[in-house]
Structure 1
Amino acid sequence: MASFEALYGRRCRSPIGWFDSAEMDSLDADLLRDVMEQVHLTFEEEPIDILDRHVRKLRTKEIASVKVQWKYRSVEEATWETESDMSARYPHIFEAPHKMNTFINIEEFKKKVIFVMGATGTGKSRLSVDLATHFRGEIINSDKMQVYKGLEIVTNKITHTEKQGVRHYLLGEIEPDSDFTAEDFCLQAIIYIEKILKTQRVPIIVGGSNSYIEKHVEDHVFMFKYKYDSCFIWIDVEQSVLNRKVDMRVDQMVKAGLVDEVRQIFIPDADYTKGIRRSIGVPEMDRYLREETNIDGDDESKKIILQALISSIKRNTRMLICNQLDKIQRLISEKMWSVHHIIATDVFKEDRKEDLDEAWTNIVLLPCLDIVKRFLKNDHHNIIIECT
């Protein structure tokens, strides 16, 4: 008698799976019903999710089996059980809210999450706020430096005015000397996603730290792909244009007080491998802050050293952009992520604010509103689509 696993390559602990197809055909309807009614699970643990469903045809009958994940067991240890027995013993797993996670091959039953990706300086924060105000969204920051408290100028955190009243999570929440890992981000992000969904709002994850996003989506421990449907939007700007923009932004940051901000947290022999001190602009300023007392009164020497360090900040920011773009390309080519590619180069060629705002609306915002509206159209979790 062939096992269900031998026939189908699936583990099964229900007696109905112990018969091969020929033996099933020889059973009459009454016997088949008796066998099914006497099914007893041999794996007495609490089921927490249905991961997949398979239907076998037996003459005029169909026997459905479901792949069950059990509490305290990994996804790899999920077992195949008869659906009728599972629904009789554990009806709650087939009802809301679990129903939204059932049969993961049906995309419309997943909870929906929006990701805004792109290199530094491309307008991710602006787009995320625009989307949040149009679709009742709330934002989860995924920039690995902006999660920390402090250094608002260095980390280029979105300002209170720019937030436009939209709630942001993981923005300036973590102690600056903490080592906030990708795993920490994933655990916290899941909590915030569920919190946002419970208020019938749309979770929008935004940031340039693609390693956080990849860990969040791909790591099977967090089961993100099984439970959530993702919409990835990538804002892209031609690199030569973007380089000029970030150079200007660094100059603006220096004028806004970058040096004094870094001076406030400066400690000789500080560890620049963890926490907020990894931010571009902090290690570079180390030399200047060490030497400024030795060259007190020599303004020309200070100016020369400072200009050299500002150039270093610009150079390292450009290298960051290259790494961010390479990572996004790899997620598309190797991980097969389906990404909406928005090319915003022409927006940043405009000099006048009025022209820039108009270009932003036409080139970036309107296409993204259409993308997100279509993504949320078939939502089954009472998210209210509101365009304002």
Structure 2
Amino acid sequence: MTRMEKEKVIVLIGPTAVGKTNTSIELAKRFDGEIISGDSMQIYRKMDIGTAKITTDEMEGIPHHLLDIKDPDEPFSVAEFQQLVRKKISEIHSRGKIPLIVGGTGLYIQAVLYDYHFTETPGDEEYRAELEAQGDKRGSVWLHQQLEKVDPISAKNIHPNNIRRVIRALEIFHCTGKTMSEYQEGQSHELQYDVALVGLTMDRDILYKRINLRVDVMMNLGLLDEVKGLYDEGVKDVQSVQAIGYKELYDYFDGKIGLDQAIETLKQNSRRYAKRQLTWFRNKMAVTWYDMTEGSQHSKIIDDISEFIAGKLQLKSNK
């Protein structure tokens, strides 16, 4: 497929609280775009405040996709995300619009943009069944410890309660002798689209202050009630509530820690996540970065980003 035949896609990435939402709306207006959420947790219904999901007012009439498509007790995989987003990209182009993927979940976005073949991921049903039985007998912590022994990197990135993903990582190692990250490295690095990949960054101290403030705002908006609603419904030991903002408050509802400590831990985990996001994007993807530290220069930054996108994709800006 030649460059001219590839569908054009704008991608906006960056750590939590850096200003992706406002920037994405501005860019969608300028390039007649529709926005696809690139966040692995905003797909869940009833999880609005803790995932910093965009509100209808904030959308300013710009169509948004892949929000609120799953119940919190439903699993969701990178492979499913890849399939859904690629379908949306084609749909948006068929309307004569430009798709704009916005988010911070690095692996998910990378899987869409590059030639990842999840159907070719090796499997062993017998071994998987054995691990599931051992998990039922010995518990999720034991399973996670087995993963730590063979694949410490994946073990660090996968929560012990995410049993399905722990087992998948063990299965990949069992079948290939490679860790999950090594297996993913072996995937093709050819871009599937004509992409303008834009990253937003910020002075770390200022970003961390913004993250702390965001958590305070979330609490004022009713995050505690949002999480309590899920807790009272019995939504436990599933993928969705391992998200930052939910697991910390679950510990509070379980009586493991006090509320003040839960909020402090939430802030700390959010800061650490932002750091991991930046590391991932810088190591794994060819991003053109824009520094958002100077808030007063926001309109100039938008102009610079727009100029880059217009040149990279040969698009005309509405400004």
Provide the rounded CA distance (Å) in 1 between the counterparts of 2:114 and 2:278: 18
Larger radius of gyration: 1
Structure with the higher strand share, 1 or 2: 1
> Structure 1 length as normaliser, TM-score?
0.61
C-alpha change, 1:272 and 1:281, in structure 2 (3 Å) is: farther
Provide the rounded CA distance (Å) in 1 between the counterparts of 2:107 and 2:116: 15
- Does residue 278 of structure 1 match 2:242? yes
Provide the rounded CA distance (Å) in 2 between the counterparts of 1:156 and 1:266: 19
> Is the 1:268–1:290 contact (alpha carbons within 8 Å) kept by the matching residues of 2?
no
Provide the rounded CA distance (Å) in 2 between the counterparts of 1:125 and 1:226: 25
Alignment partner, residue 81 of structure 2: 185
- Please, which of 254, 272, 275 is the counterpart of residue 322 of structure 1? 275
1:50-104 per-residue CA deviation (whole Å, 9 max, x = no partner) reads xxxxxxxxxxxxxxxxxxxxxxxxxxxxxxxxxxxxxxxxxxxxxxxxxxxx4x3
Deviation (angstroms), 1:110:
2.0
1:2-151 equivalences under 5 Å are 102=1, 104=2, 107-151=3-47
Deviation (angstroms), 1:259:
0.6
Which stretch has the larger CA shift, 190-199 or 175-184? Answer: 175-184
Which stretch has the larger CA shift, 221-230 or 278-287? Answer: 221-230
> Is the 2:113–2:192 contact (alpha carbons within 8 Å) kept by the matching residues of 1?
no
What secondary structure, in the 3-state scheme, does the structure 2 residue paired with 1:173 have? coil
C-alpha change, 1:258 and 1:109, in structure 2 (3 Å) is: same
Deviation (angstroms), 1:359:
2.3
What secondary structure, in the 3-state scheme, does the structure 2 residue paired with 1:341 have? strand
> Is the 2:75–2:238 contact (alpha carbons within 8 Å) kept by the matching residues of 1?
no
Q: Which runs of 4+ in 1 moved over 6 A?
A: none
Alignment partner, residue 161 of structure 1: 57
Alignment partner, residue 260 of structure 2: 307
Provide the rounded CA distance (Å) in 2 between the counterparts of 1:165 and 1:151: 22
> Is the 1:216–1:224 contact (alpha carbons within 8 Å) kept by the matching residues of 2?
no
Provide the rounded CA distance (Å) in 2 between the counterparts of 1:157 and 1:284: 19
- Please, which of 91, 102, 108 is the counterpart of residue 206 of structure 1? 102
Instruction: Give the partner amino acid of 1:320.
Output: Y
C-alpha change, 1:268 and 1:231, in structure 2 (3 Å) is: same
What secondary structure, in the 3-state scheme, does the structure 1 residue paired with 2:269 have? helix
Deviation (angstroms), 1:202:
0.4
- Does residue 235 of structure 1 match 2:200? yes
Instruction: Give the partner amino acid of 2:254.
Output: R
Alignment partner, residue 298 of structure 2: 360
Alignment partner, residue 387 of structure 1: 318
Can you give the 5+ residue segments of structure 2 that lack an aligned partner in the other structure?
119-187
1:283-327 per-residue CA deviation (whole Å, 9 max, x = no partner) reads 1112322349xxxxxxxxxxx921111000001001101110110
What secondary structure, in the 3-state scheme, does the structure 2 residue paired with 1:121 have? coil
1:21-78 per-residue CA deviation (whole Å, 9 max, x = no partner) reads xxxxxxxxxxxxxxxxxxxxxxxxxxxxxxxxxxxxxxxxxxxxxxxxxxxxxxxxxx
> Is the 1:147–1:172 contact (alpha carbons within 8 Å) kept by the matching residues of 2?
yes
Instruction: Tell me the matched-pair count.
Output: 250
Can you give the 5+ residue segments of structure 1 that lack an aligned partner in the other structure?
1-101, 293-303, 348-357, 380-384
> Is the 1:210–1:327 contact (alpha carbons within 8 Å) kept by the matching residues of 2?
yes
Instruction: Give the partner amino acid of 1:286.
Output: Y
Instruction: Give me the CA root mean square deviation.
Output: 2.2
Provide the rounded CA distance (Å) in 2 between the counterparts of 1:195 and 1:233: 22
Structure with the higher helix share, 1 or 2: 2
- Please, which of 72, 86, 96 is the counterpart of residue 176 of structure 1? 72
Deviation (angstroms), 1:227:
4.4
Provide the rounded CA distance (Å) in 1 between the counterparts of 2:291 and 2:243: 27
